[in-house]
Amino acid sequence: MKVLRSVNPATLEESGSVETTDPSDVPLVIKRSRAAQEKWASVPPRERAVLLRDLRLRMTREADRVAETVHKDTGKPKAECYNTELLTSAVSAAYHESLVKKFKFRENVNQGPMGLMMKAMKRRSYVEYLPLGVVAVIAPFNFPLAIPFTQTVAAVAAGNSVILKPSSETPLTGQLISDMFRESGFPEDLVIAIHGPGTSRALAASPGVNRIVFTGSTETGRDVMRSAAANLTPVTLELGGKDAMIVFDDADLERAADCAVWASFVNSGQVCVGVRRIYVQEGSFERFLALMKDKASKIRQGNGWEDAGISVGPMINEEAAAKMESICARMISEGGRAIIGGRRNPDLHGTFFEPTIIVDVPKDAGSVREEVFGPIVSLFPFSDEEEAVRLADCTEFALAGSVWTRDQEKGTRIASALRSGTIVVNNAIYTYGLPATPWGGSGESGFGVTHSEEGFRQMMRMHHVHVDRGSGKDAWWMPYSEEGTKLQKDIVTSFFGDGKEKIGTVRRFLSSRKKG
């Protein structure tokens, strides 16, 4: 039996292990998953909601177990294990518990301009939302509970089964998700966690998977999409980010600086939607920089499980810490200057990189447009609204961003001008924890939506049924005739042109059907 071991990057000690799955066994896993899904699909929505409630209650009752598992995998501070991971997951469970009870899995279609004709012909349409089948959730390491759980709970609520492939850096949390579904009374094999090298690729390339939900790097997302293309498997991709924070002179600078420190350094900056670029209007640049430097200098870094006052934890592994060193060196070579941080923490054992603020990088430097997945943020001055929007949109990433101003009208106007998927006015990044709001980006940040009713719908297939009571012939059926052709022309001009004899045309149409 091969195992995958988890190492806590805050201590560099092994936390536990899980059994791996050979890629050649993935088809058997899919077969088990499909068998479970076929039974689950027949469970009424209200019964699904009961199990979702039980899952939510189990997670909250065992909050310490869940939070500690996350810490063992990631080294996150205790506060983040609860607020960014467990809270986000519990809210999502509650949202889908409520949604599945009120969602219209069958709804009538308003025929619009054809409504009068369809009513006269005694015809109607309705749409059913049916489960997709087997959903593959391929998850990242940075939020090993919150990201795959929110996606999994939506898929299960919609009537699907889930095969969860956690990051190899965080296997314990991924396995915990699967275990908690089973312990909460969901059918065996409805949520299966698989681990080990090659399994993500095997899942993405399998014809037995009905949708892939991938969260991770843009480069890996392209690989997943290429693998899925062979079977025309639909994909949802939530990829990288390079989020901008725009701070106007009229903003509450103190509050904006407080949020900037959190949004830049939460989860040691390993956040796809974390703030990476801060554009501050020229009149407030020096003041804001001084505030942020002062606040960032006071936050403490270390093992946040042993000391609840610790705010910044480690990078996930040695490779990630080394990459931050490389990125800082590049920014400095481009003209940048680190006013705090810019190095590994020399006082800590583990993969800790200090929170880093960099200024003086040219606005058009390559590092400004590329993703930085760590605790490094760059600050730049700007002059006016037009320049702020242009600078914020200078990268191909388009996941999220924020605008800071006391002028609400200006804030929403700028928000509408920016192209990222979510723009927050006077706050930043936390809306992933609002399950009723859509989550997704465009460009290098991917496509598709999770969260919200739209995200829930994307976990199902739309099935249209059109019902005709069945009598007579339609005017467009063969054989064609001069009279029938004239009637069809009259239908076009009466209903969609300048013609006004709609009722008369309908009567002639119904009469022609009786003749047929």
What are the helix (H) ranges across 249-308?
Answer: 253-265, 285-298
Q: 365: exposed, middle or buried (C-beta count within 10 Å: 0-12, 13-18, 19+)? A: middle
In this structure, the number of other CB atoms found within 10 A of the CB of residue 17 comes to: 15
Query: Which of 443, 271, 277, 260 lies closest to 373 in space, CA to CA?
Result: 271
d(CA 223, CA 242): 21
- Please identify which of the residues 80, 97, 238, 354 carries the catalytic annotation: 238
Q: Is 272 a catalytic residue?
A: yes
Structure tokens given for 325: 């060193």
d(CA 503, CA 499): 11
d(CA 296, CA 489): 72
In this structure, the number of other CB atoms found within 10 A of the CB of residue 339 comes to: 18
What are the helix (H) ranges across 247-384?
Answer: 253-265, 285-298, 318-333, 366-369
d(CA 181, CA 162): 11
Cis amide prior to 362 (ω within 30 degrees): no
- Please identify which of the residues 81, 272, 328, 444 carries the catalytic annotation: 272
d(CA 64, CA 86): 10
Residues acting as catalytic residues: 238, 272
